Amino acid sequence: MKPIHVGLLGLGTVGGGTVNVLSRNAAEIARRAGREIRITHAAARAYAPELEPLLQGVEICDDAFAVVNNPEVEIIVELIGGYTPALELVMQAIANGKHVVTANKALIAMHGNEIFQAAQGRGVMVAFEAAVAGGIPIIKALREGLAANQIEWVAGIINGTGNFILTEMLDKGRDFAEVLSEAQALGYAEANPTFDVEGIDAAHKLTILGSLAFGIPLQFDKTYVEGITRITRQDVAYAEQLGYRIKHLGIARKEANGIELRVHPTLIPRKRLIANVNGVMNAVLVKGDAVGPTLYYGAGAGSEPTASAVVADLVDVTRTLTTDPNNRVPHLAFQPSHLSNLRIMPMEEVQTACYLRVHALDEPGVMAEIAGILGRHGISIEAIQQKEPAEGEESLPLVMLTHRVEERCMNQAIAEIEALECVSGAVMRIRLEPLSG
Q: Point out the residues that are catalytic.
A: 205
Q: Does 323 bind its own copies (CB under 8 A)?
A: yes
CA distances (Å), 400 to each of 232, 239, 359, in order?
A: 16, 10, 11
Count of beta carbons in the 10 Å neighbourhood of residue 160: 24
Q: How far is the CB of 294 from its own copies (least distance, A)?
A: 3
Interacting residue with its own copies among 172, 230, 319, 343 (CB under 8 A): 319
Contact 423, 416 (CB under 8 A): no
Separation between Cα atoms, residue 29 and residue 6, nearest integer Å: 14
- Site membership for its own copies, residue 218 (CB under 8 A): no
Residue 141 interacts with its own copies (CB under 8 A)? Answer: yes
> Which window, 93-101, 105-113, 277-285, 379-387, contacts its own copies (CB under 8 A)?
277-285
| Residue 282: its H or E element | strand 281-288
Could you tell me the smallest distance in angstroms from the CB atom of residue 171 to its own copies?
12
Under the binding rule (CB under 8 A), the answer on residue 32 touching its own copies is yes
User: Binding of its own copies at residue 436 (CB under 8 A)?
Assistant: no
Does 3 bind its own copies (CB under 8 A)? Our answer is: no
CA 306/CA 10 separation, integer angstroms: 14
Tell me which residues in 162-191 interact with its own copies (CB under 8 A). none
Residues paired with residue 267 on neighbouring β-strands, in sequence order: 246, 432
Closest contact distance (angstroms) between CB of 1 and its own copies is 9
How far apart (Å, rounded) are the C-alpha atoms in residues 162 and 164?
A: 5
What is the residue type of 314?
Answer: L
Strands 37-43 and 59-61: parallel
310 binds its own copies (CB under 8 A): yes
Judged by CB under 8 A, the chain residues 91 through 130 that form the site for its own copies are 129
| Residue selected from 135, 193, 227, 250 as contacting its own copies according to rule CB under 8 A | 135
56 binds its own copies, rule: CB under 8 A: no
In sequence order, which residues have a C-beta less than 8 Å from that of residue 365 and are 6 or more positions away? Answer: none
Which range binds its own copies by CB under 8 A, 108-116, 154-162, 234-242, 305-313? 305-313
Q: Does 295 bind its own copies (CB under 8 A)?
A: yes
The answer to whether residue 137 forms part of the interface with its own copies (CB under 8 A) is yes
Please tell me whether residue 238 adopts helix, strand or coil conformation: helix
- DSSP 8-state code for residue 428: E
Taking a C-beta distance cutoff of 8 angstroms, is the pair 205, 262 a contact?
A: no
Q: Which of 127, 136, 200, 209 binds its own copies (CB under 8 A)?
A: 136
Q: Tell me how far apart the alpha carbons of residues 67 and 401 are, in angstroms, rounded to a whole number.
A: 56
C-alpha–C-alpha distance, residues 277 and 39, integer Å: 35
308 lies in the site for its own copies, by CB under 8 A: yes
Cα separation, 399 vs 401, whole angstroms: 7
* CA-CA-CA-CA dihedral for 169, 174, 179, 182, to nearest 10: -130
Residues 10-29 that bind its own copies (CB under 8 A): 17, 21-22, 24-25, 28-29
Closest CA to 274 of 127, 154, 105, 148: 154
Shortest distance, position 360 Cβ to its own copies, whole Å: 38
Candidates 67-75, 306-314, 356-364, 427-435: pick the segment binding its own copies (CB under 8 A).
306-314
d(CA 111, CA 105): 10
Q: Is 421 in the site for its own copies (CB under 8 A)?
A: no
- Is residue 361 involved in binding its own copies (CB under 8 A)? no
Name which of 45 and 338 has its Cβ closer to its own copies.
338
Q: Rounded to the nearest whole angstrom, what is the least distance from the CB of residue 370 to its own copies in the complex?
A: 37
Which of 315, 353, 401, 428 binds its own copies (CB under 8 A)? It is 315
- Are the CB atoms for 249 and 243 separated by under 8 Å? no
What is the smallest separation between the CB atom of 329 and its own copies, expressed in angstroms? Answer: 6
According to the binding rule CB under 8 A, does residue 423 interact with its own copies? no
Does 341 bind its own copies (CB under 8 A)? Our answer is no
